[in-house]
Structure 1
Amino acid sequence: MIEIQNKQILIDGKPRIILCGEIHYYRLDREDWQDRIDKLKAAGCNAVASYVPWLCHEPVEGEVDLEGRTRPELDLAGFIDLCRENGLWFFVRPGPFIMAEMKNEGLPHWIYEKHPEIVPVSWDGKPAPTKTVDYLAPAFLEETRKWYASVMEVIAPRLITRGGNVLAVQLDNEIGMLSWVSNSPDLTENVLADFAVWLKERHAPAVLAQRYPFDLDDAEVRRRAVRSPGEEYAAELMRDLGYYMRHRFARYVAALRGFAEECGVTGVPFVVNIHGTSEGRGFTYPIGISQLYESYIQAPGYLSGSDIYFGNLDMNSFQDLYLINGFMDAVHLPDQPLTSVEFNCGDGNFGCTYGGRYDPSAADFKLRMCIAQGNRMINYYLFAGGRNYRLDDAPDDGNGRIAFTGERHGFAAPVSPEGELNYTYPRMARANRAVMAVSEKLALMEEERDGVAFAFIPDYFMTESRYPDSGRMGDIVENLQANRAGGSWEIVARAMLLAGYRFGAADIQNRPLDPKETPMLVLASARYMDADLQQKLADYLRVGGGVFLYGEVPLFDMEGNPCTILAGALGVRPTGNRSAGEHYYLSLCAEGWAVPRPEVRTHFAQVFEAGEGVEPILRVYGTGEVCGFDVPVGKGRAIVIAAAYDCDIPLFRSALEKLGVRAALGHDCPYHGIFMTSTASAEGERFLHLLNLDGFDKEFTVTENGSPLLEGRKILLQAKDGVMLPIGVTFGEVRIDWSTAEIMGLEGDGIHFRLTQPEDVIALRTAREIVPCEDYDIRQQGQTILIHSRKHAKVDDRLTVRFR
């Protein structure tokens, strides 16, 4: 039995951490399956994942091969059963879309030939540039239902609820992604007719007539008006299309779930994959959260899984992953845990140029951060490479293969198409083993946080459909893009993490906002914000909330209508903007509690006339205009920086502390680049998670609320290394009070550690006798036993402490 409860994944009543590796059975010779599974087990994984490509299993309509009759490697049941024989769970991803660099994104060619009406057209009636379809086209749904009937016949009897090993089923893949990345919303005749019905359900007749000056019931008029919108209703259309597409995607997901359940697939989670990372950063990822918002919260039984394609996790990008996890958690239902179903691993040499390869720390760091933030399932994508065979009845498309990457596929994976291990495999395996060694503890833990949340506004990321010729749409989108992520993530979030703050996120748009639950918010604000949300923030401040606003104080609602509710509550009147020019070097000067600090150059500042009680903290040089201020609002308080400002860690720390929130964790290293957080169980067992994001060693003492942790012992955190240190963790009759070494394995008479220091110390309590060993000294200190390693971690990092 598998259950989703209290942000945990329970299998037979026991909380679990699931580490999968994606192995595409259909891209390997059948005799190679066991070898890849062996390498996955050696890497510390406990589950296998794979897409099930419709294109391969039914290349000819009606001729479905899931048993390997036409090609031995197409025996899906055989592969799932082999994984079970190896003691591994299975996460199945049957599409219909799978992407995976497959041609047609994994759909059979005959689908498009048989049903040309499902192929979308978009803005101005132009054909969609990507191989997507109208998800809710009746013909496509009917063909998908048949495909599900075939594939679920293999999956249903192998569910974990029936004694098998299939623990989750993904529904489609990256829904809406292709339309977003090409700015080509699906606008088929079927979609337009359905959109018109939805508009009538959403808006009263009088409101609808005011929003859209055309006849929605006239198919020809509707077609022209939506595909080539007029400027007078462009902003309204962008907003309504965004909401409609959310609703449409949720209906599609529900339909797929219904098809699966009709075939007996019940009692396991259904997974919705969220896309959005781009070019090694996470700025656009919340677009996927926004697009699929209704899909994974529409009913119990769903999991949302992230696509994490960052490459290296370093000083440039570490805050992106932290925020992404926070935003996903903010929109989840109370029981839904974090998961990642495409967790980028390998060496990153996707172009076969040997340029831009990843550091060995890449997968290690991302795993550690995600586990610390509460991820319960990770799927390494792609764990093992393979080959793309030629179809028997191949189209004349240049190579006739199933995918567009050529013959070899997954050549950047930790395990190559030929089965060789690349340089990233050992470090990834080491991190996996560290997590799995204490997975029973981690599966129960939650991140400890500091009373501050990063505000998440899903509609700020509802920008995937923008008519190219619309100035109104363009103005709104460009301002949202400038304020919703880049500056606030690069400046504020990075500064907070480097200052030791541990924080979650709050969906302030759709959830209640109460200072008792969320004492303080960090708000990345744009020029546009809904009137209801502006009012909610003003009310939150008046009853005692704290807000640190970075960006712009909103002047308009989300459709461009004037709206200054929040500005009024803050007691300021916006008077314009200042922007740097070719010979104008816009500079800001500190004032009030923000002094002394140097003058700062910038490219943008929003300026205000400050009312009574408003304390300026930043002014424009030369004009004296206020662009940063501190103001009491009712029982609450707001600090606003309405300018592009430097990543000034002391300034932001001072602002947060003035709003009542201090970072509990701290360190005394003079160099930045240390990520710190901690996790704890209800029983008080804890792990301290540390990452050194830089390429040089750092030595420091960790403090908590001003008091030293680890009894004040300095930590030497090696270059590009991460550690997970136990604090008050019990294993049987042994309690580890603290340790500078990382636990790597448990057995009846011993605990295996990874040493991290020139001289590691393990402080424990036990009534059992510790077996003497030349690798360590045993010292008694009151009731505590101190194990001092005699080995330098850089010479030999393995240590086992045994007990009688």
Structure 2
Amino acid sequence: MIELTHKQVVVDGTPRIVMAGEVHYFRVAREEWEQRLDLVVEAGLTAVASYIPWVFHELPDGTIDVEGRTRPERDVGAFIDLCAERGLMFIARPGPFVMAELKNEGIPFRVYREHPEVVPVGWDGAPAPSRTVDYLAPAFLEETRRWYEAVLPLIAARLQPHGGNVVMVQLDNEVGMLAWVTNSPDLTDHLLEHLGRWVDEKYDGAGPYPVAPGGEGWAEAVRSPSEEWAGPLRRDLGEFMRDRFADYVLTLRAMAEGLGVRDVPFAVNIHGTEGGSGTPFPIGISQLVNTYSGIPGMVSGSDHYMGEATLTTMSDLYVINAYMDAVHDADQPLTSLEFEAGSGDYGAGAEMQYDPSTADLKTRLCLAQGNRLINYYLFAGGINPPLDEVVDDGNDRLSFTGERHGTAAPVGPEGQRGFAFEATARTVHAVNANEPWLAVMDEEHDDVELGLVLDAYATEYHHPGSALMGDAVDDLSQHRGAGQRRVLVRSLLMAGYRFGAVHLEERSPRRGSVLALGTGRYLAEVVQQRVVAHAEAGGRVLLLGPVPQLDLDGTPCHVLADALDLGHGEVVRDTGHYFPSVVAHGWAAPWPEMRVGWRQELRPNRGDVVLTDVYGTVCGVDVPLGDGRVVVLAAELPSNRDLFGRALAALGAAPGVSTTTPFPGVITTTTSSEDGQRALHLINISGAAMPTTVTVDGVELFDGRPLHVPARSGHVLPLGLDVGGVRLIGGSGEVAGVEDGAIRFCSLLAVGDGPGHVDIAPGTAVLPDDGYDITPFADGTVRVTPHEGATLVVRLDTTSTLVDPTPAEPDLHIEASPRA
């Protein structure tokens, strides 16, 4: 049985961290399947995921082979069964769209030939530049039903609740992505008829459009909009497509359930990274939120490709996870259905080589934020087979990548261990060793929330000839989310803050909390009202960006500025001969003069000035509002943990975890479970070893002596973990396994000038060993310290206790008790 409950993935009653690897059976010769799956097992993975591409299984005459009649690699059930024989769970991804660098994104050529009406036109009636379709076109749905009727029964027969190993089924893939990346909305006649009914209902027949929705001239008014209604149309298209995508996924789910696929989660894959950047990822959430948010049996999965783990990458990843969780309900867990793995050399041209620690560092951050399933994509490469029909497209193969595919993967196209295999395997084995507590722990948050404004990400469609649409999209893209240059999130992470996000269109921030929000000139009226109400009720707000002055459709909206009694001038940007710099005042000082890309003049009528340019023009204020306060920083500031740490401190929020390091690069957070277990997560993403002092809830760990955290390494340290029948209450080592009455540790970090150690709660005897020293304390706590060069394996006896423990000086006893 599979349950999604309390943000956990529970398999047969046991909370799990599902570690999967994507292996494309259709790109691997049948006789090599077992060898690839043996490598999956060797790496420690517990599941396999694979697309099941329609274009591969449909023959030129329209018949479908999923049993291997025409090609042995088409026997999908046999591959799933081989996974089961090795104890591997299976995640089925049958489309209809699968992408995966396949021709037509996985849709058979025949569908386009026989049903040209499903192919959209976009702005000005231009043909869609991608192989997208109108998802709800009757002909496409009927063809999809044919495909599902062929493939889903064999999946239904292998569902885990019915004795098989299929634990999850993904419905379609990256819905809406093709229209977004091409800025070409699916404006078929069928869709526009639906849009007309939707607009009529929204505006009750009194909308802003010059013609009756759905009537004569409606198609032209949408495809080639005038500036008069361009603003409302951009907003309405985004909202409408959310509903339409939800209708599509609901239709697919109904088809699947009608064919026996039920009692396992249905997954929706969220796209959004672009050009190695995660900042546009919430566009995918915005498009697909209505397909899964709060819907029982549905789960969302991230799909991200951002390159090597750096401060930039990890800031983006932290936001991705926080924003995904913000729209989930109390039971829906975080998952990642495409988690970038490998060297990054996707073109086999030695043009890229990520540090092999990259997957480890990203994995650890995601697990600390509550991810319960990670699918490494692509784990094993392969060979793209020839198509069954000649299409004369340059290679006539299944994929546009040519013959070899997955050259960057941990396992190469020919089944060889790749550059990142050993590093990936080490990561997976470390996760497995820590699964019992990671699977039930949630990240602890400080009294800070990052604002999510989904409508600020409804920027996927804008007519290229519309100045109004272009201005809105440019403004929103620059300032939303983590703030320009990722300043909000990067600064808060460096300052030690642990935070989630709040979906501001749907709910208010926690009462009294600090809301951190990136703003531009465009901000929806409902969000401005919610920010004002939060402050008036005693909440605190940190705004970074220009003062909002327009609603999303371009109409003036000064709700927030009026509440703050805050006048404002134009934004002044740098040029080749003008270099604006700012200085801090009040609680923000001392702070060195800092060059900025732009600043906006603020004219406050109350409150304190905290930022000016060097000539005294105000660009930062701290304004009381009701029982709360709002800090507005209207300049393109650089990331700075001191300045933003002071801002949050002034607003009354302190980090529960703080570190002291010589340079930026160490990310820390804590997780805890309902039964009182707790862990500290340390991730050093820099290329330098970092001496790091750590304070948790005001308690200096290790007597304030620094931990020596190696370059590009991650660690899960006990603050109260139940391991092998005992409780570890502290220490500088990560659990590597429990076996033969002993706990094995790895990555034991040195403390100060001496070796690392672990502390064990009273009630358990530690058996003497030549490899470590035992220091008992008066309260029964035992400290175990390895000898120099020794690997720490603590042998335990849970049936007896230490006798006559020797008292020690209090300053030698380091303990971080779990929170009540």
TM-fit CA distance, 1:443: 1.0
One-letter identity of the residue aligned with 1:216:
P
Instruction: Give, in whole Å, the separation in 2 of the partners of 1:615 and 1:555.
Output: 22
Task: Give the residue type in structure 2 aligned to 1:292.
Answer: L
Cα pair 2:687 2:711 within 8 Å, conserved: yes
Q: Distance in 1 between matches of 2:140 and 2:638?
A: 51
Q: Is the CA contact 1:576–1:608 (under 8 Å) kept in the aligned structure 2?
A: no
Q: SS of the residue aligned with 1:670?
A: coil
Question: Do 2:587 and 2:647's aligned partners in 1 also have CA atoms closer than 8 Å?
Answer: no
**SS, match of residue 521 in structure 2:** coil
The aligned counterpart of 1:696 is 688
Q: Distance in 1 between matches of 2:738 and 2:146?
A: 48
Of the structure 1 ranges 103-112 and 294-303, higher mean CA displacement relative to structure 2 is found in: 294-303
Counterpart AA for 1:56: F
Q: How many residues align?
A: 792
SS at match of 2:658: strand
Map of 2:318 onto structure 1: 322
Residue type matched to 1:614 in 2? G
Aligned-residue offset at 1:713:
4.6
Q: CA deviation at 1:791?
A: 4.4
Instruction: Give the structure 2 partner of residue 57 of structure 1.
Output: 57
Q: Alpha-carbon deviation of 1:486?
A: 6.6
Q: Indicate the SS of the match to 2:501.
A: strand
* Matching residue within 374, 382, 385 for 2:378: 382
CA offset at residue 760 of structure 1?
A: 2.7
SS at match of 2:289: coil
Shift of 1:514: 4.3
**Where does 1:419-568 land on structure 2 (aligned, <5 Å)?**
419-485=415-481, 487-488=483-484, 490-515=486-511, 519-568=513-562
- Structure 1 residue 599: deviation in Å? 2.4
CA deviation string 1:732-757 (max 9, x = no partner)? 43221222121111224222221333
Q: Which amino acid aligns with 1:108?
A: P
What is the deviation of 1:186?
0.5
Indicate conservation of the 8 Å contact 1:120/1:134, yes or no.
yes
SS in 1 for 2:291: coil
How many Å apart are 1:471 and its aligned residue? Answer: 0.4
Following TM superposition, by how much is the alpha carbon of 1:650 offset from its aligned partner in structure 2, in angstroms? 1.3
1:244 to 2:244 alignment: no
The answer (yes or no) to whether the contact 2:508–2:534 under 8 Å persists in 1 is no
Amino acid at match of 2:679: F
**Secondary structure of the corresponding residue to residue 225 of structure 1:** helix
What residue ranges of structure 2 are gaps of 5+ in the alignment?
798-820
| CA deviation string 1:359-392 (max 9, x = no partner) | 1111001110000000011100000001101123
1:803 maps onto 2:796 in alignment: yes
Shift of 1:523: 0.8
The answer (yes or no) to whether the contact 2:192–2:214 under 8 Å persists in 1 is no
Match of 2:818 in 1: none
1:171 aligned partner: 171
Partner residue of 2:626? Answer: 634
Indicate the larger mover: 768-777 or 282-291.
Answer: 768-777
State the match for 1:590 in structure 2.
Answer: 584
Query: How far is 1:705 from its partner?
Result: 3.1
Q: CA separation in 1, counterparts of 2:407 and 2:394?
A: 21
Q: Is the 8 A contact 1:515 1:540 kept in 2?
A: yes
How far off its partner does 1:485 sit?
4.2
Counterpart of 2:727 in structure 1 is 735
Once residues 740 and 104 of structure 2 are traced to their aligned partners in structure 1, the CA distance between those partners, rounded to angstroms, is 52
Question: Which residue in the other structure is 1:139 paired with?
Answer: 139
- Asked if residue 232 in structure 1 is aligned to residue 228 in structure 2, the reply is yes
Matched-pair contact (CA < 8 Å) for 2:286–2:455:
yes
Moved more, 735-744 or 459-468: 735-744
In 2, Cα distance between equivalents of 1:82 and 1:163: 15
**Higher mean displacement: 353-362 or 126-135:** 353-362
C-alpha separation between the residues in 1 aligned to 2:383 and 2:516?
47
Distance 2:730 2:498 in 1: 21
Aligned to 2:279: 283
1:614 pairs with 607, 612, 616, which one? 607
Equivalent pair of 2:200/2:213 in contact (CA under 8 Å): no
Report Cα offsets for 1:38-96 as digits up to 9, x if no partner: 11112121111000010111133542111111111111111111111111111000000
Q: Give the alignment of 1:248-397 within 5 angstroms.
A: 248-297=244-293, 299-397=295-393
Asked if the contact 1:361–1:427 (Cα under 8 Å) also holds between the matched residues in 2, the reply is: yes
Letter in 1 for 2:613: V
Mean CA deviation greater in 726-735 or 772-781: 772-781
Which stretch of structure 1 is more off in the superposition, 334-343 or 738-747?
A: 738-747
Please provide the CA RMSD for this pair: 1.6
Separation in 2, partners of 1:601, 1:668: 26
Partner residue, 2:808? none
CA distance, structure 2, for counterparts of residue 172 and residue 476 of structure 1:
31
Q: Report the counterpart of residue 663 of structure 2 in structure 1.
A: 671
Equivalent residue for 1:718? 710
TM-score normalised to the size of structure 2?
0.94
Q: Is the 8 A contact 1:319 1:489 kept in 2?
A: no
Q: Mean Cα displacement is larger for which, 89-98 or 345-354? A: 345-354
Give the equivalent residue in structure 1 for 2:184.
Answer: 184
2:29 aligned partner: 29
Structure 1, residues 269-293: CA drift from partner, whole Å, max 9, x if none? 1100000111222111010010101
Distance 1:492 1:31 in 2: 52
Identify the range of structure 1 (233-242 vs 393-402) with the bigger mean alpha-carbon deviation.
Answer: 393-402
CA distance in 2, matches of 1:514, 1:764: 37
CA distance in 2, matches of 1:522, 1:506: 10
Quick check: 2:450–2:515 contact (8 Å CA) kept in 1?
Answer: yes
Task: For 2:527, give the aligned amino acid.
Answer: L
Distance 1:735 1:307 in 2: 37
User: How far did 1:522 drift?
Assistant: 0.2
- Partners of 1:705 and 1:271 lie apart in 2 by 37
Task: State the AA in 2 paired with 1:533.
Answer: V
Local SS of the residue matching 1:158 = coil
Cα contact 1:695–1:720 (8 A) shared by 2: yes
Given the two structures, how large is their TM-score scaled by the length of structure 1?
A: 0.96
Is the Cα contact below 8 Å between 1:755 and 1:799 reproduced in 2?
no
- Residue by residue over 1:760-796, the C-alpha shift from the partner in whole angstroms, topping out at 9 and shown as x without a partner, is 312224655544444323333331222222244xxx7
1:222 corresponds to = 218
Give 1:653's aligned residue: 645
Q: Which amino acid aligns with 2:177?
A: M
Shift of 1:706: 3.1
Q: Distance in 2 between matches of 1:499 and 1:154?
A: 52
Residues 478, 79 of structure 1: alpha-carbon distance in 2 compared, 3 angstrom cutoff? same
CA distance in 2, matches of 1:338, 1:643: 34
| Cα 1:771–1:31 shift into 2, 3 Å | farther
**Structure 1 match to 2:6:** 6
Deviation at 1:102, TM superposition (A): 0.4
CA contact (8 A) 1:311 1:345 kept: no
